[in-house]
């Protein structure tokens, strides 16, 4: 089959985590003999920021890391009917312009032979509900939601059996243990500062524990304000800015522990949905300690695959335990890796996607009157 993915960007992962998962899904599809193409809007926010931050070499490195991945840009005058004319399945990410989301639905409704799926992987359904409440999904065959709590919003909008949970996962062709690397530093954190969605949490669960324990380590990410950089400068953690996702497994391998600090909207409004870094860290074989987060969907085994810290004091205690107890660290690595390999690889997600396609393939597109709200 021919798959086409409308995405904010495939080439750039600058503050754009969905690119991680899409790259892995496309790789898994191509391994099975399918073709996959990403379509991204010319001048996308992530791509432009990557160019400004890292220069054209960063785009060239993407093609070095992913030589078989195909991505094309489109502009405002693009003929989308021609672009998707030979597609079997079209997957439209929720960052796509609302007018284009609606247009693709009309093309499907007016006789398009492709299956049309909407893919939601963000907390905007709750954090920017007014902005996107009128999103027009007329003509879409189904919705892929990256967690059960998000699925509930589509069920309330009347999607019934056409909304499916499709969690993110690790691209294990890229994320796997690198045992020959020397883990010479203590702690690595890979994550963007964001829009003050976890500022206090980063201070409580990362900066202060690292400072109190005198941990060596590295912080990667973008959009760190001067105040955050000043706080990091009082620790032994080195701030090194953006890192290409393809380089993250090596960064994990050179450190002894990492932490997961979710953004507040996920904790408060979309419980049970981890970021993709949880999957990637466990796949890479590094011990993981999580700030408060409830695995409401039973994706992992808390306390076995990773440790939980409910406060800054507990984070200090858990970090100390992992760094001082090799048996504990080894047990976490083994268990977390087993869970990823058994349930949470991009190969698993392609299995799920193909099952979804088979399930809805013979149905007519879902057509509602007016806008379909999340």
Q: Would you call 16 helix, strand, or coil by DSSP? A: coil
Q: Residues of CATH 3.40.50.2000 domain(s) within the chain?
A: 2-169+346-360, 185-343
Q: Would you call 238 helix, strand, or coil by DSSP? A: strand
Q: Over the Cα atoms of the chain, what is R_g?
A: 21
Q: pTM score > 0.85 for this model?
A: yes
CATH 3.40.50.720 fits 185-343, yes or no: no
User: Does 303 or 271 have the greater pLDDT score?
Assistant: 303
User: Does 365 or 108 have the greater pLDDT score?
Assistant: 108
Write out pLDDT tens, residues 94-115: 999 999 999 999 999 999 999 9
pLDDT at 263: 78
Write out pLDDT tens, residues 200-217: 999 999 999 999 999 999
pLDDT at 374: 36
The stretch 325-353 carries a mean pLDDT of 98
pLDDT at 135: 81
The tokens for 170 are: 């690790």
Q: What are phi and psi of 141, to 5 degrees?
A: -80, -25
Say yes or no to pLDDT of 350 above 60.
yes
Separation in Å, CA 330 to CA 143, 257, 286:
39, 11, 9
Say yes or no to pLDDT of 297 above 70.
yes
CATH 3.40.50.2000 fits 2-169+346-360, yes or no: yes
The stretch 310-332 carries a mean pLDDT of 98
Q: Identify each DSSP E strand in 276-344 by its residue range.
A: 288-290, 307-308
The stretch 326-345 carries a mean pLDDT of 98
- Confidence at 344, pLDDT banded by 50, 70, 90: very high
């Amino acid at each position: 089959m021919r798959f086409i993915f409308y995405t904010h960007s495939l080439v750039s992962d600058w503050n754009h985590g969905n690119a991680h998962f899409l790259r892995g899904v496309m790789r898994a599809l191509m391994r099975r003999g399918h073709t996959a193409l990403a379509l991204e809007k010319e001048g996308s926010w992530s791509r432009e920021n990557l160019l400004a931050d890292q220069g054209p070499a960063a785009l060239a490195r993407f093609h070095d890391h992913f030589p078989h991945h195909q991505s094309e840009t489109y502009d405002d005058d693009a003929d989308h009917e021609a672009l998707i004319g030979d597609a079997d399945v079209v997957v439209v990410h929720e960052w796509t312009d609302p007018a284009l989301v609606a247009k693709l639905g009309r093309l499907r409704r007016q006789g398009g032979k492709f299956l049309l799926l909407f893919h939601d992987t963000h907390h905007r359904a709750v954090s920017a509900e007014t902005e996107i409440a009128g999103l027009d999904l007329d003509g879409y065959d189904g919705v892929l939601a990256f967690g059960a709590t998000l699925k509930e919003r589509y069920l309330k909008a009347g999607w019934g059996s056409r909304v499916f949970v499709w969690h993110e996962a690790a691209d294990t062709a890229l994320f796997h243990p690198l045992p020959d690397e020397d883990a010479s530093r203590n702690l690595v954190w890979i994550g963007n500062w964001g829009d003050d969605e976890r500022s206090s949490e980063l201070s409580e669960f990362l900066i202060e524990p690292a400072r109190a324990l005198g941990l060596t380590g590295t912080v990667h990410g973008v959009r760190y304000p001067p105040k955050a950089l000043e706080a990091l400068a009082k620790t032994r953690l080195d701030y090194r800015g953006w890192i290409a996702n393809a380089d993250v497994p090596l960064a994990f391998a050179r450190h002894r522990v990492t932490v997961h600090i979710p953004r507040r909207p996920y904790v408060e409004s979309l419980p049970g949905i981890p970021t993709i870094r949880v999957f990637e860290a466990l796949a890479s074989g590094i011990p993981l300690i999580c700030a408060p987060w409830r695995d409401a969907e039973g994706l992992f085994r808390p306390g076995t695959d990773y440790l939980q810290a409910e406060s800054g004091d507990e984070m200090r205690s858990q970090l100390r335990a992992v760094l001082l107890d090799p048996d504990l660290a080894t047990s976490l690595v083994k268990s977390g890796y087993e869970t990823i390999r058994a349930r949470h690889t991009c190969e698993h997600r392609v299995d799920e996607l193909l099952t979804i396609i088979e399930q809805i393939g013979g149905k007519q597109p879902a057509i509602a009157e007016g806008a379909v709200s999340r």
